[in-house]
Protein backbone atom coordinates (compact mmCIF):
# COMPACT_ATOMS: atom_id res chain seq x y z
CA UNK A 1 0.00 0.00 0.00
CA UNK A 2 2.82 2.41 0.87
CA UNK A 3 4.67 1.61 -2.36
CA UNK A 4 1.45 2.08 -4.38
CA UNK A 5 0.86 5.51 -2.83
CA UNK A 6 4.44 6.53 -3.56
CA UNK A 7 4.06 5.28 -7.14
CA UNK A 8 0.94 7.40 -7.70
CA UNK A 9 2.88 10.50 -6.72
CA UNK A 10 6.06 9.59 -8.58
CA UNK A 11 7.95 9.26 -5.30
CA UNK A 12 8.99 5.61 -5.60
CA UNK A 13 12.67 6.32 -6.30
CA UNK A 14 13.73 5.90 -2.63
CA UNK A 15 12.19 2.41 -2.58
CA UNK A 16 13.86 1.46 -5.87
CA UNK A 17 17.26 2.52 -4.57
CA UNK A 18 16.73 0.83 -1.21
CA UNK A 19 15.74 -2.50 -2.76
CA UNK A 20 18.38 -2.61 -5.50
CA UNK A 21 19.84 -6.09 -5.53
CA UNK A 22 17.33 -7.42 -2.97
CA UNK A 23 15.97 -10.43 -4.87
CA UNK A 24 12.65 -9.90 -6.64
CA UNK A 25 11.88 -6.63 -4.84
CA UNK A 26 13.03 -4.37 -7.73
CA UNK A 27 10.84 -6.36 -10.13
CA UNK A 28 7.84 -5.97 -7.83
CA UNK A 29 8.45 -2.23 -7.56
CA UNK A 30 8.77 -1.94 -11.35
CA UNK A 31 5.38 -3.65 -11.75
CA UNK A 32 3.83 -1.30 -9.14
CA UNK A 33 5.26 1.68 -10.98
CA UNK A 34 3.87 0.37 -14.27
CA UNK A 35 0.38 -0.25 -12.87
CA UNK A 36 -0.05 2.72 -10.53
CA UNK A 37 2.52 5.31 -11.60
CA UNK A 38 1.35 8.50 -13.23
CA UNK A 39 2.74 11.70 -14.69
CA UNK A 40 3.77 14.16 -12.00
CA UNK A 41 4.59 17.15 -14.18
CA UNK A 42 7.47 19.33 -13.10
CA UNK A 43 7.15 18.71 -9.37
CA UNK A 44 10.43 18.36 -7.50
CA UNK A 45 11.24 15.06 -5.71
CA UNK A 46 10.65 16.68 -2.32
CA UNK A 47 7.23 17.97 -3.39
CA UNK A 48 6.22 14.53 -4.68
CA UNK A 49 7.42 12.94 -1.44
CA UNK A 50 5.41 15.46 0.60
CA UNK A 51 2.23 14.66 -1.33
CA UNK A 52 2.70 10.91 -0.82
CA UNK A 53 3.35 11.27 2.91
CA UNK A 54 0.32 13.53 3.28
CA UNK A 55 -1.94 10.90 1.69
CA UNK A 56 -0.58 8.11 3.91
CA UNK A 57 -1.90 9.75 7.06
CA UNK A 58 -0.90 11.14 10.47
CA UNK A 59 2.24 9.10 11.21
CA UNK A 60 3.72 9.75 7.78
CA UNK A 61 2.86 13.46 7.93
CA UNK A 62 4.69 13.74 11.25
CA UNK A 63 7.59 11.71 9.82
CA UNK A 64 7.81 14.18 6.95
CA UNK A 65 8.05 17.03 9.45
CA UNK A 66 10.92 15.26 11.23
CA UNK A 67 12.67 14.60 7.90
CA UNK A 68 12.38 18.28 7.04
CA UNK A 69 14.90 18.98 9.81
CA UNK A 70 17.49 16.58 8.36
CA UNK A 71 18.98 18.48 5.44
CA UNK A 72 22.21 16.59 6.14
CA UNK A 73 20.54 13.38 5.01
CA UNK A 74 18.30 14.41 2.13
CA UNK A 75 19.64 17.74 0.92
CA UNK A 76 18.38 21.27 1.45
CA UNK A 77 15.79 21.26 -1.35
CA UNK A 78 14.01 18.09 -0.20
CA UNK A 79 14.10 19.30 3.42
CA UNK A 80 12.66 22.66 2.36
CA UNK A 81 9.85 20.97 0.40
CA UNK A 82 8.99 18.71 3.32
CA UNK A 83 8.88 21.73 5.63
CA UNK A 84 5.87 22.92 3.61
CA UNK A 85 4.02 19.66 4.31
CA UNK A 86 0.52 20.66 5.39
CA UNK A 87 -0.42 19.02 8.67
CA UNK A 88 -4.16 19.26 8.06
CA UNK A 89 -6.83 16.57 8.14
CA UNK A 90 -10.63 16.61 8.27
CA UNK A 91 -11.90 17.38 11.76
CA UNK A 92 -13.46 14.73 13.98
CA UNK A 93 -16.89 15.27 15.46
CA UNK A 94 -17.68 17.67 18.28
CA UNK A 95 -19.36 14.74 20.08
CA UNK A 96 -16.03 12.88 20.16
CA UNK A 97 -14.17 16.01 21.27
CA UNK A 98 -16.62 16.65 24.09
CA UNK A 99 -16.51 13.00 25.18
CA UNK A 100 -12.70 13.07 25.34
CA UNK A 101 -12.69 16.30 27.38
CA UNK A 102 -15.27 15.04 29.86
CA UNK A 103 -13.49 11.70 30.32
CA UNK A 104 -10.05 13.26 30.75
CA UNK A 105 -11.13 16.09 33.07
CA UNK A 106 -13.77 14.13 34.96
CA UNK A 107 -16.55 16.69 34.65
CA UNK A 108 -19.31 17.67 32.21
CA UNK A 109 -18.45 20.31 29.61
CA UNK A 110 -21.03 22.66 31.16
CA UNK A 111 -19.15 22.63 34.48
CA UNK A 112 -15.80 23.34 32.80
CA UNK A 113 -16.77 25.96 30.24
CA UNK A 114 -19.43 28.64 30.00
CA UNK A 115 -19.14 28.37 26.22
CA UNK A 116 -17.60 25.68 23.98
CA UNK A 117 -17.46 26.07 20.19
CA UNK A 118 -18.26 22.77 18.48
CA UNK A 119 -16.63 23.87 15.22
CA UNK A 120 -12.83 23.52 15.57
CA UNK A 121 -10.60 26.37 14.42
CA UNK A 122 -7.96 23.92 13.17
CA UNK A 123 -7.61 20.17 12.65
CA UNK A 124 -4.20 18.55 12.30
CA UNK A 125 -2.95 14.97 12.07
CA UNK A 126 -2.82 14.36 15.80
CA UNK A 127 -5.25 16.83 17.35
CA UNK A 128 -7.70 19.65 16.77
CA UNK A 129 -8.36 22.92 18.58
CA UNK A 130 -11.65 24.41 19.79
CA UNK A 131 -12.28 27.87 21.20
CA UNK A 132 -14.05 28.09 24.55
CA UNK A 133 -14.71 30.43 27.49
CA UNK A 134 -14.17 29.17 31.03
CA UNK A 135 -16.68 29.44 33.84
CA UNK A 136 -16.37 32.75 35.76
CA UNK A 137 -14.15 32.65 38.84
CA UNK A 138 -12.43 35.15 41.11
CA UNK A 139 -9.56 35.66 38.64
CA UNK A 140 -11.81 35.89 35.57
CA UNK A 141 -15.23 37.20 36.65
CA UNK A 142 -16.49 37.13 33.06
CA UNK A 143 -14.75 33.90 32.11
CA UNK A 144 -11.46 33.47 30.29
CA UNK A 145 -11.19 32.98 26.50
CA UNK A 146 -9.17 29.81 25.94
CA UNK A 147 -8.09 27.40 23.20
CA UNK A 148 -8.72 23.70 23.94
CA UNK A 149 -6.53 21.15 22.17
CA UNK A 150 -7.91 17.60 21.96
CA UNK A 151 -6.17 14.47 20.66
CA UNK A 152 -7.83 12.51 17.87
CA UNK A 153 -9.72 9.39 19.00
CA UNK A 154 -7.57 6.28 18.63
CA UNK A 155 -4.54 8.23 17.42
CA UNK A 156 -2.17 6.56 19.91
CA UNK A 157 -2.90 3.05 18.62
CA UNK A 158 -2.74 4.13 14.97
CA UNK A 159 0.61 5.86 15.41
CA UNK A 160 2.06 2.95 17.40
CA UNK A 161 1.23 0.53 14.57
CA UNK A 162 2.68 2.84 11.92
CA UNK A 163 5.86 3.46 13.93
CA UNK A 164 6.40 -0.28 14.38
CA UNK A 165 6.05 -0.72 10.60
CA UNK A 166 8.46 2.15 9.90
CA UNK A 167 10.98 0.79 12.39
CA UNK A 168 10.80 -2.66 10.79
CA UNK A 169 11.41 -1.10 7.38
CA UNK A 170 14.33 0.94 8.76
CA UNK A 171 16.00 -2.13 10.26
CA UNK A 172 15.47 -4.01 6.97
CA UNK A 173 17.14 -1.22 5.00
CA UNK A 174 20.10 -1.05 7.37
CA UNK A 175 20.62 -4.84 7.25
CA UNK A 176 20.25 -5.28 3.50
CA UNK A 177 21.50 -2.00 2.06
CA UNK A 178 24.86 -0.98 3.59
CA UNK A 179 25.22 2.00 1.26
CA UNK A 180 22.03 3.52 2.69
CA UNK A 181 23.15 3.27 6.30
CA UNK A 182 24.56 6.77 6.05
CA UNK A 183 20.92 7.96 5.97
CA UNK A 184 20.52 6.44 9.47
CA UNK A 185 16.96 5.17 8.90
CA UNK A 186 16.67 3.56 12.35
CA UNK A 187 17.90 6.72 14.08
CA UNK A 188 15.48 8.86 12.05
CA UNK A 189 12.50 6.68 13.01
CA UNK A 190 13.58 6.58 16.65
CA UNK A 191 13.85 10.38 16.70
CA UNK A 192 10.43 10.56 15.10
CA UNK A 193 9.03 8.18 17.72
CA UNK A 194 10.47 10.28 20.55
CA UNK A 195 8.96 13.46 19.06
CA UNK A 196 5.53 11.84 18.67
CA UNK A 197 5.60 10.48 22.22
CA UNK A 198 5.74 14.05 23.51
CA UNK A 199 2.82 15.08 21.32
CA UNK A 200 0.82 12.08 22.56
CA UNK A 201 0.86 13.48 26.10
CA UNK A 202 -0.42 17.04 26.09
CA UNK A 203 0.80 17.53 29.65
CA UNK A 204 4.36 17.36 28.28
CA UNK A 205 3.56 19.93 25.59
CA UNK A 206 2.03 22.16 28.28
CA UNK A 207 5.20 21.77 30.35
CA UNK A 208 7.30 22.82 27.33
CA UNK A 209 5.14 25.91 26.95
CA UNK A 210 5.51 26.67 30.66
CA UNK A 211 9.31 26.50 30.47
CA UNK A 212 9.42 28.78 27.42
CA UNK A 213 6.98 31.18 29.09
CA UNK A 214 9.12 31.26 32.23
CA UNK A 215 12.25 32.02 30.18
CA UNK A 216 10.52 35.12 28.80
CA UNK A 217 8.89 36.20 32.05
CA UNK A 218 8.72 39.99 32.20
CA UNK A 219 9.49 40.37 28.48
CA UNK A 220 6.50 42.06 26.81
CA UNK A 221 7.87 41.49 23.29
CA UNK A 222 7.39 37.69 23.26
CA UNK A 223 4.18 36.06 24.38
CA UNK A 224 3.63 32.39 25.26
CA UNK A 225 0.08 31.39 26.27
CA UNK A 226 -0.57 30.59 29.90
CA UNK A 227 -1.70 27.01 30.58
CA UNK A 228 -4.92 26.29 32.46
CA UNK A 229 -3.61 23.27 34.36
CA UNK A 230 -7.00 22.55 35.98
CA UNK A 231 -8.39 21.89 32.50
CA UNK A 232 -5.33 20.05 31.15
CA UNK A 233 -4.74 16.28 31.11
CA UNK A 234 -2.99 13.69 28.96
CA UNK A 235 -5.35 14.05 25.98
CA UNK A 236 -6.62 17.61 26.59
CA UNK A 237 -4.72 20.89 26.92
CA UNK A 238 -6.32 24.23 27.69
CA UNK A 239 -4.35 27.43 27.16
CA UNK A 240 -4.93 31.14 27.08
CA UNK A 241 -6.36 32.21 23.72
CA UNK A 242 -4.05 34.48 21.73
CA UNK A 243 -5.41 36.53 18.84
CA UNK A 244 -3.33 38.51 16.40
CA UNK A 245 -2.07 38.94 12.85
CA UNK A 246 -0.37 36.06 11.00
CA UNK A 247 3.39 36.47 11.10
CA UNK A 248 3.70 36.74 7.31
CA UNK A 249 0.75 39.15 6.78
CA UNK A 250 2.54 42.38 5.85
CA UNK A 251 -0.62 44.24 4.83
CA UNK A 252 -2.39 43.22 8.03
CA UNK A 253 0.45 44.60 10.15
CA UNK A 254 0.53 47.88 8.25
CA UNK A 255 -3.26 48.21 8.56
CA UNK A 256 -2.89 47.73 12.34
CA UNK A 257 -0.33 50.54 12.45
CA UNK A 258 2.62 48.27 13.29
CA UNK A 259 6.21 49.01 12.28
CA UNK A 260 7.42 46.04 10.21
CA UNK A 261 11.09 46.52 11.11
CA UNK A 262 10.21 46.76 14.80
CA UNK A 263 8.29 43.48 14.57
CA UNK A 264 11.25 41.82 12.86
CA UNK A 265 13.64 43.18 15.49
CA UNK A 266 11.51 41.58 18.21
CA UNK A 267 11.38 38.29 16.31
CA UNK A 268 15.18 38.27 15.84
CA UNK A 269 15.79 39.06 19.52
CA UNK A 270 13.38 36.32 20.62
CA UNK A 271 15.08 33.79 18.34
CA UNK A 272 18.55 34.71 19.58
CA UNK A 273 17.54 34.69 23.24
CA UNK A 274 15.96 31.26 22.91
CA UNK A 275 18.93 29.69 21.14
CA UNK A 276 21.87 31.33 22.93
CA UNK A 277 20.65 32.85 26.19
CA UNK A 278 18.39 29.97 27.24
CA UNK A 279 19.45 27.05 25.06
CA UNK A 280 15.77 26.12 24.66
CA UNK A 281 13.87 27.09 21.54
CA UNK A 282 10.55 26.62 19.79
CA UNK A 283 11.32 24.06 17.10
CA UNK A 284 8.47 24.78 14.68
CA UNK A 285 8.28 28.55 14.25
CA UNK A 286 6.46 28.77 10.94
CA UNK A 287 3.79 31.43 10.23
CA UNK A 288 0.99 29.01 11.15
CA UNK A 289 2.32 28.87 14.71
CA UNK A 290 3.24 32.54 15.05
CA UNK A 291 1.18 35.72 15.14
CA UNK A 292 1.84 39.34 15.99
CA UNK A 293 -0.27 40.86 18.75
CA UNK A 294 -1.94 44.18 18.12
CA UNK A 295 0.64 45.64 20.50
CA UNK A 296 3.46 44.34 18.28
CA UNK A 297 4.46 41.40 20.50
CA UNK A 298 5.48 38.09 18.90
CA UNK A 299 3.03 35.32 19.89
CA UNK A 300 3.60 31.56 19.55
CA UNK A 301 1.52 28.40 19.91
CA UNK A 302 2.05 24.64 19.39
CA UNK A 303 4.93 23.36 21.51
CA UNK A 304 5.11 19.76 20.31
CA UNK A 305 8.58 20.23 18.79
CA UNK A 306 11.18 21.96 20.96
CA UNK A 307 14.97 22.12 20.68
CA UNK A 308 17.58 22.23 23.41
CA UNK A 309 21.25 23.27 23.09
CA UNK A 310 23.80 22.63 25.82
CA UNK A 311 26.06 25.48 26.88
CA UNK A 312 29.00 23.69 25.27
CA UNK A 313 27.11 23.45 21.96
CA UNK A 314 26.18 27.14 22.12
CA UNK A 315 29.81 28.08 22.70
CA UNK A 316 30.89 25.88 19.78
CA UNK A 317 28.30 27.44 17.49
CA UNK A 318 29.22 31.00 18.52
CA UNK A 319 32.97 30.45 18.14
CA UNK A 320 32.48 28.78 14.76
CA UNK A 321 30.27 31.52 13.31
CA UNK A 322 32.41 34.35 14.71
CA UNK A 323 35.60 32.93 13.21
CA UNK A 324 33.80 32.25 9.94
CA UNK A 325 32.55 35.84 9.66
CA UNK A 326 36.12 37.03 10.34
CA UNK A 327 37.29 34.82 7.42
CA UNK A 328 39.58 32.96 9.83
CA UNK A 329 38.93 29.53 8.35
CA UNK A 330 41.84 27.93 10.18
CA UNK A 331 40.25 29.08 13.44
CA UNK A 332 36.92 27.57 12.36
CA UNK A 333 38.65 24.26 11.71
CA UNK A 334 40.38 24.47 15.09
CA UNK A 335 37.02 25.02 16.79
CA UNK A 336 35.84 21.73 15.27
CA UNK A 337 39.05 20.00 16.39
CA UNK A 338 38.79 21.35 19.94
CA UNK A 339 35.19 20.15 20.11
CA UNK A 340 36.35 16.68 19.07
CA UNK A 341 34.26 16.66 15.90
CA UNK A 342 36.99 16.23 13.27
CA UNK A 343 37.93 12.55 12.77
CA UNK A 344 41.63 11.78 13.01
CA UNK A 345 41.71 10.32 9.51
CA UNK A 346 41.12 13.73 7.89
CA UNK A 347 43.58 16.63 7.97
CA UNK A 348 42.84 20.05 9.37
CA UNK A 349 44.26 21.59 6.20
CA UNK A 350 41.74 19.80 3.98
CA UNK A 351 38.90 20.88 6.25
CA UNK A 352 40.13 24.48 6.26
CA UNK A 353 40.17 24.50 2.46
CA UNK A 354 36.60 23.20 2.34
CA UNK A 355 35.49 25.92 4.75
CA UNK A 356 37.12 28.57 2.59
CA UNK A 357 35.07 27.36 -0.39
CA UNK A 358 31.93 28.31 1.52
CA UNK A 359 33.10 31.59 3.00
CA UNK A 360 34.85 33.35 0.15
CA UNK A 361 31.85 33.47 -2.26
CA UNK A 362 29.81 35.52 0.25
CA UNK A 363 32.61 37.84 1.33
CA UNK A 364 31.81 41.45 0.50
CA UNK A 365 28.21 40.77 -0.53
CA UNK A 366 25.49 43.01 0.96
CA UNK A 367 24.02 41.50 4.11
CA UNK A 368 20.50 41.49 2.71
CA UNK A 369 21.68 39.05 0.05
CA UNK A 370 23.27 36.62 2.50
CA UNK A 371 21.33 33.78 4.09
CA UNK A 372 23.13 32.87 7.29
CA UNK A 373 20.84 29.85 7.61
CA UNK A 374 22.06 28.54 4.26
CA UNK A 375 25.67 29.27 5.20
CA UNK A 376 25.16 27.28 8.39
CA UNK A 377 23.57 24.50 6.35
CA UNK A 378 26.60 24.45 4.01
CA UNK A 379 28.92 24.22 7.01
CA UNK A 380 26.94 21.25 8.30
CA UNK A 381 27.06 19.64 4.84
CA UNK A 382 30.85 19.99 4.76
CA UNK A 383 31.05 18.53 8.25
CA UNK A 384 28.97 15.57 7.09
CA UNK A 385 31.23 15.02 4.07
CA UNK A 386 34.15 14.78 6.51
CA UNK A 387 32.30 12.02 8.41
CA UNK A 388 31.38 14.27 11.33
CA UNK A 389 28.20 13.80 13.31
CA UNK A 390 25.96 16.88 13.23
CA UNK A 391 23.62 17.21 16.19
CA UNK A 392 19.92 17.00 15.25
CA UNK A 393 19.28 20.02 17.50
CA UNK A 394 21.61 22.15 15.37
CA UNK A 395 19.81 21.01 12.23
CA UNK A 396 16.50 21.93 13.84
CA UNK A 397 17.94 25.34 14.71
CA UNK A 398 19.08 25.81 11.11
CA UNK A 399 15.64 24.87 9.80
CA UNK A 400 14.07 27.53 12.03
CA UNK A 401 16.63 30.08 10.86
CA UNK A 402 15.55 29.34 7.28
CA UNK A 403 11.91 29.89 8.23
CA UNK A 404 12.75 33.15 10.00
CA UNK A 405 14.72 34.46 7.01
CA UNK A 406 11.91 33.50 4.63
CA UNK A 407 9.31 35.39 6.66
CA UNK A 408 11.67 38.35 7.08
CA UNK A 409 12.26 38.68 3.33
CA UNK A 410 8.53 38.58 2.63
CA UNK A 411 8.00 41.41 5.09
CA UNK A 412 11.04 43.47 4.12
CA UNK A 413 13.24 42.17 1.26
CA UNK A 414 15.92 44.80 1.92
CA UNK A 415 16.60 43.78 5.51
CA UNK A 416 18.71 40.97 6.98
CA UNK A 417 16.89 39.93 10.13
CA UNK A 418 20.04 38.93 11.98
CA UNK A 419 21.51 42.44 11.85
CA UNK A 420 18.59 43.52 14.06
CA UNK A 421 19.83 41.26 16.86
CA UNK A 422 23.43 42.50 16.55
CA UNK A 423 23.52 44.39 19.89
CA UNK A 424 22.29 41.26 21.71
CA UNK A 425 24.78 39.08 19.87
CA UNK A 426 27.70 41.39 20.69
CA UNK A 427 26.73 41.59 24.36
CA UNK A 428 26.34 37.81 24.63
CA UNK A 429 29.73 37.31 23.01
CA UNK A 430 31.34 39.72 25.46
CA UNK A 431 29.65 38.06 28.42
CA UNK A 432 30.31 34.47 27.35
CA UNK A 433 33.22 34.30 24.87
CA UNK A 434 35.38 37.30 25.75
CA UNK A 435 38.75 36.98 27.56
CA UNK A 436 37.25 37.61 31.00
CA UNK A 437 34.47 35.10 30.36
CA UNK A 438 36.96 32.44 29.28
CA UNK A 439 39.06 32.98 32.42
CA UNK A 440 35.93 32.73 34.55
CA UNK A 441 34.88 29.57 32.73
CA UNK A 442 38.31 27.96 33.22
CA UNK A 443 38.24 28.91 36.91
CA UNK A 444 34.76 27.44 37.30
CA UNK A 445 35.83 24.18 35.66
CA UNK A 446 38.92 23.97 37.86
CA UNK A 447 36.84 24.53 41.00
CA UNK A 448 34.39 21.90 39.79
CA UNK A 449 37.21 19.35 39.50
CA UNK A 450 38.58 20.31 42.91
CA UNK A 451 35.16 19.95 44.53
CA UNK A 452 34.70 16.51 42.97
CA UNK A 453 38.20 15.25 43.77
CA UNK A 454 37.30 13.57 47.12
CA UNK A 455 34.41 11.80 45.43
CA UNK A 456 36.68 10.80 42.55
CA UNK A 457 39.17 9.27 44.98
CA UNK A 458 36.42 7.38 46.84
CA UNK A 459 35.10 5.91 43.62
CA UNK A 460 38.60 5.05 42.40
CA UNK A 461 39.15 3.21 45.67
CA UNK A 462 35.92 1.29 45.16
CA UNK A 463 36.84 0.37 41.59
CA UNK A 464 40.31 -0.81 42.67
CA UNK A 465 38.68 -2.82 45.44
CA UNK A 466 36.40 -4.57 42.95
CA UNK A 467 39.40 -5.15 40.70
CA UNK A 468 41.31 -6.74 43.56
CA UNK A 469 38.32 -8.90 44.45
CA UNK A 470 38.12 -10.17 40.88
CA UNK A 471 34.85 -8.44 40.21
CA UNK A 472 35.98 -6.66 37.04
CA UNK A 473 36.08 -8.87 33.96
CA UNK A 474 37.89 -7.58 30.90
CA UNK A 475 36.65 -8.03 27.35
CA UNK A 476 38.98 -10.12 25.10
CA UNK A 477 39.59 -7.04 22.93
CA UNK A 478 40.64 -5.10 26.03
CA UNK A 479 43.14 -7.84 26.86
CA UNK A 480 44.57 -7.62 23.35
CA UNK A 481 44.99 -3.85 23.75
CA UNK A 482 46.76 -4.38 27.08
CA UNK A 483 49.11 -6.92 25.53
CA UNK A 484 49.97 -4.47 22.76
CA UNK A 485 50.84 -1.83 25.35
CA UNK A 486 53.53 -4.13 26.80
CA UNK A 487 54.94 -3.00 30.11
CA UNK A 488 52.92 0.24 30.05
CA UNK A 489 49.60 -1.52 30.40
CA UNK A 490 49.34 -0.65 34.08
CA UNK A 491 49.66 3.08 33.29
CA UNK A 492 46.75 2.95 30.88
CA UNK A 493 44.71 0.98 33.39
CA UNK A 494 45.27 3.60 36.09
CA UNK A 495 44.28 6.36 33.65
CA UNK A 496 41.13 4.43 32.79
CA UNK A 497 40.28 4.01 36.47
CA UNK A 498 40.83 7.71 37.11
CA UNK A 499 38.60 8.67 34.20
CA UNK A 500 35.93 6.23 35.33
CA UNK A 501 36.09 7.61 38.84
CA UNK A 502 35.67 11.15 37.49
CA UNK A 503 32.75 10.22 35.23
CA UNK A 504 30.87 8.32 37.90
CA UNK A 505 31.54 10.58 40.86
CA UNK A 506 28.37 12.64 40.53
CA UNK A 507 26.18 10.20 42.38
CA UNK A 508 26.62 6.99 44.32
CA UNK A 509 23.82 5.54 42.19
CA UNK A 510 25.84 6.01 39.03
CA UNK A 511 28.51 3.47 39.97
CA UNK A 512 28.37 0.33 37.85
CA UNK A 513 30.61 -2.70 38.37
CA UNK A 514 30.52 -6.20 36.99
CA UNK A 515 29.87 -9.00 39.48
CA UNK A 516 31.73 -12.27 39.41
CA UNK A 517 30.73 -14.18 36.31
CA UNK A 518 31.59 -17.83 35.59
CA UNK A 519 34.20 -18.13 32.86
CA UNK A 520 31.88 -20.10 30.60
CA UNK A 521 29.19 -17.38 30.52
CA UNK A 522 30.27 -14.53 28.19
CA UNK A 523 29.06 -11.02 28.82
CA UNK A 524 27.60 -8.95 25.99
CA UNK A 525 29.97 -6.14 25.10
CA UNK A 526 28.92 -2.83 26.49
CA UNK A 527 26.60 -4.40 29.05
CA UNK A 528 26.75 -3.11 32.62
CA UNK A 529 25.21 -4.80 35.57
CA UNK A 530 24.43 -2.68 38.62
| Active-site annotation, residues | 284
**What stretches of 363-434 show up as alpha helix (H) in DSSP?**
372-385, 392-411, 422-433
Q: Given the DSSP bridges, would you call strands 280-282 and 113-116 parallel, antiparallel or unpaired?
A: unpaired
Angstrom distance (rounded) from CA 367 to CA 295? 29
**DSSP letter, residue 305:** S
Q: Return the closest-CA partner of residue 237 out of 285, 303, 141.
A: 303
**DSSP letter, residue 227:** B
Q: Are 223 and 88 in contact (CB under 8 A)?
A: no
> Residue 123: which H helix or E strand, with range?
strand 122-123
Q: Given the DSSP bridges, would you call strands 290-292 and 245-246 parallel, antiparallel or unpaired?
A: antiparallel
Q: Are 337 and 347 in contact (CB under 8 A)?
A: no
Angstrom distance (rounded) from CA 172 to CA 174? 6
Angstrom distance (rounded) from CA 17 to CA 484? 43
DSSP 491-503: HHHHHHHHHHHHH
Q: Return the closest-CA partner of residue 216 out of 281, 296, 164.
A: 281
In this structure, how many other beta carbons lie within 10 angstroms of the beta carbon of residue 157?
9
Amino acid sequence: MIAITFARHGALAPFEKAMMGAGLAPVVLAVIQLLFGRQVGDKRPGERLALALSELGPAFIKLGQVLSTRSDLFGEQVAEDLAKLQDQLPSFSAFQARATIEKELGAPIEELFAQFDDEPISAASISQVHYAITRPDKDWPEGRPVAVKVLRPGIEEALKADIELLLWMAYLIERTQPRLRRLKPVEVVQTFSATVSVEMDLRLEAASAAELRQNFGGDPTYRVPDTDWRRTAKRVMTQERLTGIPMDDRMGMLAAGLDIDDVLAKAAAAFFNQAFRDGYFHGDQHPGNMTVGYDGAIQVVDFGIMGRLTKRTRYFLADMLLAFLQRDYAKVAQVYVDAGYLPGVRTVEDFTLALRSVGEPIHGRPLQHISFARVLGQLFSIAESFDMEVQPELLLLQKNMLMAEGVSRRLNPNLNIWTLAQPLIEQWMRDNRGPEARVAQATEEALFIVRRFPSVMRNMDRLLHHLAEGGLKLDPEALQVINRQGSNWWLWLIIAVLVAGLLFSGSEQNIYVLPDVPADIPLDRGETVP
